[in-house]
Chains A and B, each alone.
Chain A
Amino acid sequence: MPTRLSPATLGFPILPGVIFLGCLFSGYAFAESETTPYMMVDSGKIIPVKDTSDVPRKASGQTLYLSSSVSVNGNSATPIPTPEPKPTPSPSKAVVRKDKSRAVMASAASAKSGITVRKSSASAGGTCKTAGATEDDPGDDYGHPTATISDPIQPVNRGVFWCNHQLYHYVFSPLNKTYKFVLPHPVRTGISNAVNNVEYPVRFVNDLLQWKPAKAGLETEKFLLNTTAGIGGLVKVSNKFPALAEVKPTDTAATFAKWGIPSGCYIVWPVIGPKSLRDTVGFAGDIALNPASWFTYGLVGGLTGTATLAVSAPQTVGNTSDKVDTYETLTHTSIDRYNAVKSAYIQNRKKVESQ
């Protein structure tokens, strides 16, 4: 049916147009009655200013003031006296100490102050020089660690940490001892190597995501070598070749760090242990990339219950045994277990992210 132009159809676009023009006109009308910023005062009396040019002309005897500088009282106006200008502070001399260990930021009052950079030591621990302690001990660069993670929920974290410690003390530590007793060292090493080998996609994908194709190539070589010559990863043949042996592992959390995602706050998870917020997401990514998880969670193939256990058990046991050993080493001779683990975690992650 062809559309026919009816008055209603025509009226439809006209109405907004009328409103628009009305606004324009009314704005123009308001603009006309806008006062000028100037005020003409003749013997204290305000005279209406008709001249709307930028600076109105005045007759002799009249004084032109800016409206803002005049206080109005009915029809009379008195100028507001300008306050005495405050004396500007004399620019303080830049406080730049030229000692070897550090330089201090210059006084902000001086516009010409130079901004000095705190020189951080190039040490592997990643710390920068502290104020007081370096006066007599230049080697003490542990005052301000460059790597810290905020810990806003520390009471909660400490609670979970305590629970984890009880779990470690009563469950995982005895289990670990049994594991070591039942399985001899070569077998445990074999399991550990196989588990590490299966985690190859995690390292490979993340090397690519971090734009390190050469490293990804080395990881692939390592994987192929260990799978074939190392009988399914049980023997780490790649340790014999320095180029392959020194390839540093990486994970999803390190990729996120490379991409510049901030670490977020420190969280202690039940059983899993401490992770920053970013690393928690990275951990989930690692699980997703791990082929063993694909079997465990039924994403690939149709494995029965026992077979799934055969795949997931070494994974869990191998990784847990390492973690239990590490935890034991860290906390056995610590002053405060929570801070010992936290500091070790932060420092280690910094290293892994920089690899």
Chain B
Amino acid sequence: MTIRLLLPVLLLPLLTGIAHASNEAAENRLKSSVAEVVTIVKGAANREALIASVKTPLQRILNFSVMTKRSIGPGWKQLTPEQQQEAVGLFTTLILRTYTAKFTPGDCPSMEYKPSSSTAPGRVEIPTTSLYKGSRYDVVYRMEEQNGAWSITDVVIEGVSLVADYRSQFDAEFKSGGTEAVMKALRNSVAQAK
């Protein structure tokens, strides 16, 4: 048993998929974002330039405020608005680092889109298979609609949900020390992971 975890996110080409009429908007949004990131990755001169330029499209497609809120869970309501803003900023840094750590200029995984499904009104799951360096990864993108715009609220790689993983960590911190422990842990991990 090997957990093949790579976080490729949004690197294209190869699109095969049957889009359901109701989920088409979500799929199109995902595909256009992926296309955008692929162009950047292929055209990047080096890693630093790649990381700098890929952040903008990633921030547009990934809904960091919702992801932070769900990762922190019950403690979120107890945070002050300033703390909430700080938490979203820190979490964004953390996730972007995770994603961009594996990017190599010119090296893109190919993605195959499978039929998407709607779990609830305004919520869509798009399963894909990502072929990267000879290995296949099952990646499911969970998207939600907010004010007419679709964004990714969770990425599930080989069954491991990003938000659920962070939620289990934050829950333990919250239980041990409340919101102070949560903020402290978040600040520490951003400071350490460079």
Contact = CB atoms under 8 A, between A and B. Distances in A.
Nearest to A185: B133
A78 B1 CA distance: 77
B167 A133 contact: no
B74 A335 contact: no
A132 B78 CA distance: 13
Interface string B107-147: 00000000000011001010101010110101010101000
Contacts of B73: 133, 140, 142-143
B154 interface: yes
B55 interface: no
A99 to B, nearest CB: 14
B125 A124 contact: yes
A344 B165 CA distance: 6
A278 interface: no
A342 to B, nearest CB: 7
Nearest to B176: A336
B158 A351 contact: yes
A184 B185 CA distance: 38
B134 A192 contact: yes
A108 to B, nearest CB: 27
B98 interface: yes
B142 to A, nearest CB: 7
Interface string B73-99: 110000000000000000000110110
Given A336-B185, A347-B161, A342 B168 contact: yes
A138 B97 CA distance: 28
A32 interface: no
A124 to B, nearest CB: 5
Interface string A276-291: 0001000100100000
Interface in A234-280: 236, 239, 245-246, 251, 253, 279
Contacts of B4: 322, 326
Contact of B185 (A121, A335, A348): A335
A interface, by DSSP: helix, strand, loop or mixed? helix
Nearest to B165: A343
Given A322-B4, A333-B94, A335-B189, A350 B159 contact: yes
B47 interface: no
B18 interface: no
A123 interface: yes
B5 A138 contact: no
Contacts of A319: 2
Nearest to A331: B193
Given A323-B2, A333-B95, A335-B186, A347 B70 contact: no
A307 interface: no
The residue among B119, B131, B158, B164 with the most chain A CB atoms within 10 A of its own CB is B164
Contact of B140 (A124, A139, A329, A334): A124
A34 interface: no
A330 interface: yes
Interface string A295-329: 00000000000000000000000010011011001
Nearest to A354: B159
A279 B144 CA distance: 35
A342 B94 CA distance: 19
B101 interface: yes
Contacts of A336: 169, 172-173, 185
A139 B123 contact: yes
A325 B160 CA distance: 16
A145 interface: yes
B52 interface: no
28 contacts: A123-B142, A124-B127, A124-B140, A124-B161, A125-B161, A127-B161, A139-B144, A140-B70, A142-B70, A142-B161, A143-B73, A193-B134, A245-B136, A283-B1, A322-B4, A325-B6, A332-B97, A335-B166, A335-B169, A336-B172, A339-B172, A344-B165, A345-B3, A347-B164, A349-B1, A350-B159, A351-B159, A351-B160
Given A127-B161, A343-B165, 17 more contacts: A122-B119, A124-B159, A125-B163, A139-B120, A143-B73, A236-B134, A322-B2, A330-B165, A333-B98, A334-B189, A335-B166, A335-B185, A335-B186, A339-B168, A340-B165, A345-B3, A351-B158
